[in-house]
A and B are shown apart, each in its own frame.
Chain A
Amino acid sequence: MKRLLTSTCALAIVLSAGAAQAQLKATITGVPEIPFTTVPNYVKPPANEYMGESVAVATNSKDHLFVFHRSSPTSKLYEFDQNGNFVREIGKGYYGFEFAHSVRVDKDDNIWTVDEGTNMITKFTPDGKVAMVIGRRPPAITGPAATRTGPNPPDQKYLFCRPTDVAWDPQGNIFISDGYCNNRVVKYTPDGRYITKAGSEKAGKGLGEFNLPHGMQVDQKGNVWVADRSNFRYQVLDNNLKPIKEITNLGVGWTACASGGAHQYMFLSNSNPNGNGPGTWDTTGEIYKVELDGTVVGKFGRPGKLAPGFQVVHMMDCRDPNKPVLGEIESWRVQRFILQAGNTKAASAR
């Protein structure tokens, strides 16, 4: 009986894992593979320094790369030049850095960090000075608190709960996805004043509701693309955060990247899940190149511990849509891909 019980439990676990994997796997078929090469040894950290979980990458207008990675004793923000040579560390000792989640560069080359350990979104000027802060680090004076269980407390206009990403529309309005313990997207004026939100502290499945909004970008039209990770979808919202549509056939919905260039594409990653579970490399890990109307142009990439595979792509930079930069959580690695534009071949069977 004991053995039977054990095997029944094991079967149940396998079944539920199978169900989850089924949700992770993209249902779209017939997407052409985009051939690629990679830049060898692209990012070169200083001697004797190692980057941690490379969760966030972004380039500026000079093709300098910013990597916001989870390191020791806290997260660090590194700048590299266009050849991947180390330039400097920004924010050394900065109060708003504990646990990195996103870095993005705006049209004026300001560098914005999203830190889910301090709940702070920080705008750095191109020379690395703090220009604006939204959100507040929970003050140490309140002391260590037990990890919360139960329902999330009500969301607040100007405070975040493990926020995930930041973006801007063409007018400079600020959008923040928030996050792991709120489930919302918030819109602010360029001066950082609250305008509106979609979602709340509560997770939900309806349109305009979220379950772990994990990555976000605003396209040229001002529409907001949200990687709604635990709902296994992307949502597209209009500029006032009213839902337009959902995209449910591209897998998990981990992160999004809006390209530069006159013809804008959206890159969407069906990242393989953390933990390298059995079968996950066969069903997930590809990145889709998508037109703003949702038409899927192609896909590239596969999971793997060794380059050019990726072990959980956390964030992408695609300022040049043919040279995306990918940051990985579990391989602590940043890779630059060279995609062959307009030269796709038929998808291999998965």
Chain B
Amino acid sequence: MKRLLPLLLAASVLAGFPAVAQNNAPTLNYDGDVNFLKTPNDVYLGEVGGVAQNSKGDIFVYTRTGHPFMTLGGSRYFMHGGSQLFQFDRNGRFVRELGHDMYGFMFANQVRVDPQDNVWVVDQMTNMVIKFDPQGRQVMLLGRKAESVNVPFRANPGVAGGGGEGGGGNAGPVGAGRPQDIFDRPTDVAWDSQGNIYVADGQGNSRVAKFDKDGKFIKSWGHKGSGQGEFDNVRSIAVDAQNNVYVADGNNHRIQVFDANGTFKSQISNLGNPQAICISPGANQMLYVSNSNPPGDIDTAGEIYKMRLDGTMVGKFGRAGRMAKEFGTVNAIDCRTDNSLLVGEIANLRVQKVTLR
């Protein structure tokens, strides 16, 4: 029964999924290449949390792979492993692994590259945001990994926090988090033109946390709910050229748009389960949104929308599935080149290169 409860909850969430959230959107023609990335024999992508390109076209993939494990420490267990960060060149050839055996890598959720080509990783289980410089050196950390897991285990902890310091936690309204860089299952990161950092926090908390470019906490906004400025499962975040902040509010089936101070401006509704969003660069910015299917189901949702920043629909493409041109729980979209996307999939353990015609 203890295990049953989360399943029932999951089922009730599934029931709320619109099969296709935007029925009237025109269908876009596209190609999908599932073999674009070439991995060496002993490198396997697992569930792809994030994929992102830098200005030179280098591709970074943060993936749940390998074997997460626990070590025994008397009354405490210590958790390690389970995710890796790989770099490929612009042609999809494998270059190297970054952060091998890194303490903060356990459950990959996102990788993004900032305008200076720094590489940022968001880990949902260690509750950490890690900044690498373009050479791959670790230069800044936000959050702290929980020290350990207490024994006996909680039936469904939901959060990797546990014994000792670090990990998630709340103060005030549910999901508001603490006014600091202690996250609860963070999912994504973005920056404005001043280099301020916005962390989507996340699946445990229901807030956006803002830091200055040096990592100093500025403010956070939001808590769990469905009203304006409230969130239920913050899945993804992006900032446009005017410093508007787009927040994918998964279980509310919408994207909320805020100014850089967190003041609500507008929302785009009926997006199913917006799990990955990306805003393309350039003068005519486009917003890509994935209505991702749940990892355990390919009979619902799965399409990606292309729209203008005001929410006007350009079109949609794809559906849930396992074949090329189908998607298995998209968790990341890279749209550095408009109409040429890199799509990271959880259920299919792959990155698919999508070219819109």
Interface residues of A (CB under 8 A from B): 73-74, 88, 91-98, 128-130, 132-134, 136-137, 139-146, 148, 150, 153-154, 156-159, 191-194
**Chain A: minimal CB distance from B348 (Å):** 6
Residues of A near B298 (CB, < 8 A) are 158, 192-193
**Chain B: minimal CB distance from A92 (Å):** 5
Partner of A194, one of B64, B70, B79, B299: B299
| Most chain A beta-carbon contacts within 10 A, residue among B6, B44, B152, B158 | B44
Whether A94 contacts B44 by the Cβ 8 Å rule is: yes
Residues of B near A133 (CB, < 8 A) are 322, 328, 347-349
Whether A146 contacts B42 by the Cβ 8 Å rule is: no
Residues of A near B157 (CB, < 8 A) are 142-144
Given contacts A144-B77, A148-B2, whether A136 and B295 have CB atoms under 8 Å apart is yes
> Interface readout for B334-357 with A: 1 if CB under 8 Å, 0 if not?
000000000000011110000000
Whether B347 contacts A150 by the Cβ 8 Å rule is: no
- Please classify the interface of chain A as helix (H, G, I), strand (E, B), loop, or mixed, using the class held by over half of its residues: loop
Partner of A95, one of B7, B77, B297, B349: B349
With A130-B349, A132-B322 known, 13 other A-B pairs at CB within 8 A are A95-B44, A95-B67, A130-B44, A130-B350, A141-B160, A142-B156, A142-B157, A143-B153, A148-B2, A156-B297, A158-B296, A192-B298, A192-B321
Residues of A near B153 (CB, < 8 A) are 143-146
Partner of B155, one of A92, A95, A97, A146: A146
Residues of B near A153 (CB, < 8 A) are 3-4, 7
Whole-angstrom CA separation of A123 from B55 in the bound complex = 35
**Chain B: minimal CB distance from A163 (Å):** 14
15 A-B residue pairs with Cβ-Cβ distance under 8 Å, sorted by A, are A93-B66, A93-B67, A128-B41, A130-B44, A133-B349, A134-B322, A140-B125, A141-B160, A144-B70, A145-B3, A145-B155, A146-B2, A192-B321, A193-B298, A193-B321
Whether A92 contacts B42 by the Cβ 8 Å rule is: yes
> Interface readout for B44-64 with A: 1 if CB under 8 Å, 0 if not?
111100000000000000001
Whether A95 contacts B65 by the Cβ 8 Å rule is: yes
Whole-angstrom CA separation of A91 from B157 in the bound complex = 30
Residues of A near B328 (CB, < 8 A) are 133
Whole-angstrom CA separation of A98 from B82 in the bound complex = 12
A-B pairs, top 9 by smallest CB distance, nearest first, are A95-B46, A143-B157, A140-B68, A144-B153, A192-B322, A94-B44, A159-B296, A92-B42, A95-B65
Whether A93 contacts B42 by the Cβ 8 Å rule is: yes
**Chain B: minimal CB distance from A49 (Å):** 15
Whole-angstrom CA separation of A95 from B45 in the bound complex = 8
Partner of B67, one of A73, A129, A134: A73
Residues of A near B77 (CB, < 8 A) are 144
Whether A74 contacts B44 by the Cβ 8 Å rule is: no
Whether B44 contacts A139 by the Cβ 8 Å rule is: no
Partner of A143, one of B66, B160, B347: B160
> Interface readout for B163-185 with A: 1 if CB under 8 Å, 0 if not?
00000000000000000000001
Which residues from 132 to 155 on chain B have a C-beta closer than 8 Å to any C-beta of chain A? 149, 152-155
Whole-angstrom CA separation of A158 from B348 in the bound complex = 13
B107 at interface by CB-CB < 8 Å:
yes
Nearest neighbor of B328 in chain A, beta-carbon distance: A133
Whether A98 contacts B67 by the Cβ 8 Å rule is: yes
Whole-angstrom CA separation of A144 from B185 in the bound complex = 16
Which residues from 298 to 357 on chain B have a C-beta closer than 8 Å to any C-beta of chain A? 298-299, 321-323, 328, 347-350
B30 at interface by CB-CB < 8 Å:
no
Whether A140 contacts B107 by the Cβ 8 Å rule is: yes
B283 at interface by CB-CB < 8 Å:
no
Given contacts A73-B69, A192-B322, A193-B321, whether A150 and B158 have CB atoms under 8 Å apart is no
Whether A141 contacts B185 by the Cβ 8 Å rule is: yes
> Interface readout for B270-289 with A: 1 if CB under 8 Å, 0 if not?
00000000000000000000
Nearest neighbor of B107 in chain A, beta-carbon distance: A141
Whole-angstrom CA separation of A307 from B157 in the bound complex = 48
B124 at interface by CB-CB < 8 Å:
yes
Residues of B near A97 (CB, < 8 A) are 67
Nearest neighbor of A156 in chain B, beta-carbon distance: B296
Given contacts A93-B65, A95-B65, whether A142 and B158 have CB atoms under 8 Å apart is yes
Whether A143 contacts B158 by the Cβ 8 Å rule is: yes
Whole-angstrom CA separation of A157 from B149 in the bound complex = 32
Residues of A near B44 (CB, < 8 A) are 91-95, 130
Whole-angstrom CA separation of A136 from B328 in the bound complex = 11
Whole-angstrom CA separation of A136 from B295 in the bound complex = 7
B269 at interface by CB-CB < 8 Å:
no
Whether B70 contacts A154 by the Cβ 8 Å rule is: no
Whole-angstrom CA separation of A294 from B125 in the bound complex = 53
Nearest neighbor of A125 in chain B, beta-carbon distance: B35
Whether B124 contacts A146 by the Cβ 8 Å rule is: no
**Chain A: minimal CB distance from B231 (Å):** 19
B72 at interface by CB-CB < 8 Å:
no
Residues of B near A136 (CB, < 8 A) are 295-296, 347
B102 at interface by CB-CB < 8 Å:
no
Whether A94 contacts B299 by the Cβ 8 Å rule is: no
Whole-angstrom CA separation of A20 from B64 in the bound complex = 44
Whole-angstrom CA separation of A136 from B70 in the bound complex = 20
Whether B7 contacts A93 by the Cβ 8 Å rule is: no
Nearest neighbor of A91 in chain B, beta-carbon distance: B44
**Chain A: minimal CB distance from B66 (Å):** 5
